[in-house]
Structure 1
Amino acid sequence: MNRMTHLPDRLPARDRNDAAATAAPPPTAHRSRRPTSQQWAAWAFLAPVTVYLVLFYAYPLYRNFDLSLRHYTVRSFVQGDAPFTGLANYRAVFDDPTFAPALTHTVVFTAVCLFFQYAIGLALAVFFHQHFKLSATLRALFLVPWLLPLIVSASTWSWMLNSDSGVVNAALHAVGIGPVNWLTSPQWALTSVIIANIWIGVPFNLVVLYSGLQSIPHSLYEAAALDGASAWRRFWSITFPLLRPVSAITLLLGLVYTLKVFDIIWIMTKGGPADASTTFATWSYQLGFGSLLPDFGPGAAVGNLLVVAALVFGLVYLRVQRKQALA
């Protein structure tokens, strides 16, 4: 029995080492080194994006929020000793008589622009999806308003809608309609900037929605046509439902862009006449930089209202997308 017990000790040294190496578990250091290196690589790739977001998004948002909670003047803005006032700037904004018209104009401007930009862009996308001759050339020409600098587009529309020498009034005069004070009348100023912004935003909707149409299988249209579905029925039963995710992101991006439109309105009407085309974007600029005694705090407060509105709609979009993914 003892001889059987001590038999492994009589094995050659090389065999004993091989058996020990086989039986011993691998060192934990080698198992944990690879995940650690992968984590460091992940952080290395994530670091540039994180630094960019902190420097150009998080910090400006923090500074704007801090600005809205203090009483800043030109002197305190330079020296940095502005007193803390809490929500006084927000109360001043809500009590200002310009708040209600600016809110109304912002809602009307955003809603009307989004509706017509999406409707016209969708109609053009479906039209160009037919792949007729010169469709690519015409589609490229529709991108010109989107590619032009906004100051050029706004200046061009200001010239076209000029009351005395504009081509729009000249065309109306040719058909017997009197001149319209597009930019100087309180009844037409907001309409004028809406028309210009619709013209600028249609190409973006056209490009995104046309890309969405490209992903819809053509076999679905062939099957619907064999079943006797009309073109209108195919659009509402196939095209529109399958474009819903693309439409959602298109409308969200259009909403965020339209909420903060400033340059077009400022170049064409400067928010006037008599605040007839003032939105939150132009009002924020007027408060902060439009006078000899600027109110930086209320101007920042109005800007924060725009940020909150964009954030709310962004969260609504994410919630809708999550429900659609779970459905």
Structure 2
Amino acid sequence: MESKTVSTIPAGPTMPQANPRMRSGLFTAWTNYLFILPIVLFVLVFVLFPILYNVMLSFQDVNVYNFKKAHAFAGLENYIETFKDPVFYTALRNSVVFTVFSLFFQFGIGFAFALFFNRRFPGRNLMRSLMLLAWMLPVVISASVFQWMLNGDYGVVNYVLQWLGIIHEPHSWLSDNRTSLMSTIVANIWIGIPFNMIILLTGLQSMPEQLYEAAKLDGASRGMQFRKITLPLMKPTILILLMLGIINTFKVFDLIFIMTAGGPVNSSNVLPIYSYQLSFTKFEFSQGSAVSMVMFIILILLAIVYLNMTRKEEAQ
């Protein structure tokens, strides 16, 4: 029987096979990028681009006459004109007053309601839901209701105050430069109380009951428990709430614009409305952008202060 010899031909270099795990990892990485792509595009188009365009506009000379032409570089001229305008300081003062008084009463009354609803009693959930209606309503509706209530001719506020004998004749609350800003503050307080209440109530309900039970055994009164337990543990929540309140209140536009439009005689004018008036009433787009950039810088500085406070709190 003949033996067959099988010749072995040396195989050439084989192509390296891709690691399945590596391919799976690359696919997962690209998938993750695809998932975050919509939010990245949203931030670029609707957040970053408007800010950068506004910064660029504030250093140019753009108005209704040269809007479609080449825009000349104006440097700091728009900012200089803004700081020379006395209306700017009136709007800045009104913004500070509006923010401070609104936050003080929103936070104080909201904290009182949060402490009240933190107790257990029949109908608590229903009453808490009714309290949220003021915050859930659109600002346009709330502002229109307060505009009707504070009207000098047929407003219900004048009727009630006359019936109680507090005033003897109707008062034009929104047309009087002494009460126009106060009227918008009252409306903003009413809108903001439920938000403060629900955030503070969430913080109160997350605190352990054992601390209060131990404090009761040690003979601590309710006031001492509030000072020594509630306030220290609620400090992070309070800081976050106040920071959000400052940012949201300082840039309020729609409420004041509907109720008074910044009048009369700039008595309720604030920085957002002042920027709107420059841009879309006087058509000085660059100067309006400069005012909005001043607002942006103020809010950035406040955010930096808040971050430093939180870092110190975490370090302690």
TM superposition score normalised by structure 1? 0.86
Query: Matched residues in 1 for 2:51 and 2:124: separation?
Result: 44
**Alignment match, 1:161:** 150
Identity %: 43
Give the secondary-structure state (helix, strand or coil) at the position aligned to 1:76: coil
Query: Matched residues in 1 for 2:93 and 2:290: separation?
Result: 17
- Matched-pair contact (CA < 8 Å) for 1:162–1:183: yes
Considering only CA atoms, is the larger Rg found in Structure 1 or Structure 2? 1
Aligned-pair CA distance for 1:119: 0.8
Instruction: State whether structure 2 residue 250 is matched by structure 1 residue 259.
Output: yes
Corresponding letter in the other structure for 1:162: N
Instruction: State whether structure 2 residue 308 is matched by structure 1 residue 319.
Output: yes
From 95, 103, 122, the equivalent of 1:133 is 122
Q: Which runs of 5+ in 1 are unaligned?
A: 1-26
Instruction: State whether structure 2 residue 77 is matched by structure 1 residue 88.
Output: yes
Greater Cα offset, 271-280 or 178-187? 178-187
Aligned-pair CA distance for 1:132: 1.0
Give the secondary-structure state (helix, strand or coil) at the position aligned to 1:74: coil
Query: Matched residues in 1 for 2:224 and 2:141: separation?
Result: 41
From 106, 129, 141, the equivalent of 1:152 is 141
Query: Matched residues in 2 for 1:126 and 1:157: separation?
Result: 28
From 294, 303, 309, the equivalent of 2:292 is 303
Instruction: State whether structure 2 residue 206 is matched by structure 1 residue 215.
Output: yes
Q: Which runs of 5+ in 2 are unaligned?
A: 1-16
Aligned-pair CA distance for 1:37: 5.5
Q: 5 Å matches for 1:70-85?
A: 70-77=60-67, 79-85=68-74
**Alignment match, 1:287:** 278
Q: Deviations over 1:175-232 (max 9, x none)?
A: 2223333111111011000000010011111111111111101111111111111111
- Matched-pair contact (CA < 8 Å) for 1:197–1:264: yes
TM superposition score normalised by structure 2? 0.89
Aligned-pair CA distance for 1:114: 0.9
- Matched-pair contact (CA < 8 Å) for 1:110–1:259: yes
**Alignment match, 1:193:** 184
Give the secondary-structure state (helix, strand or coil) at the position aligned to 2:49: helix
Query: Matched residues in 2 for 1:167 and 1:268: separation?
Result: 16
Corresponding letter in the other structure for 1:257: N
Q: Deviations over 1:227-284 (max 9, x none)?
A: 1111111111111111111111111111111011011111111111110011101101
Aligned length: 298
Instruction: State whether structure 2 residue 94 is matched by structure 1 residue 105.
Output: yes
User: Per the alignment, do residues 305 and 226 of structure 1 end up closer, same or farther by CA in structure 2, a change over 3 Å counting?
Assistant: same
Aligned-pair CA distance for 1:31: 8.7
- Matched-pair contact (CA < 8 Å) for 1:155–1:268: yes
Query: Matched residues in 1 for 2:28 and 2:313: separation?
Result: 33
- Matched-pair contact (CA < 8 Å) for 1:73–1:82: no
Aligned-pair CA distance for 1:48: 2.8
Corresponding letter in the other structure for 1:232: G
Instruction: State whether structure 2 residue 43 is matched by structure 1 residue 53.
Output: yes
What's the RMSD between the two structures over aligned residues?
A: 1.9
Query: Matched residues in 2 for 1:206 and 1:165: separation?
Result: 32
Give the secondary-structure state (helix, strand or coil) at the position aligned to 1:300: helix
Query: Matched residues in 2 for 1:253 and 1:123: separation?
Result: 19
User: Per the alignment, do residues 125 and 80 of structure 1 end up closer, same or farther by CA in structure 2, a change over 3 Å counting?
Assistant: farther
Aligned-pair CA distance for 1:86: 1.2
Aligned-pair CA distance for 1:65: 1.0
Greater Cα offset, 311-320 or 183-192? 311-320
Q: Deviations over 1:154-174 (max 9, x none)?
A: 010011111121111111101
Aligned-pair CA distance for 1:46: 3.6
Instruction: State whether structure 2 residue 222 is matched by structure 1 residue 231.
Output: yes
**Alignment match, 1:23:** none
Query: Matched residues in 2 for 1:114 and 1:36: separation?
Result: 50
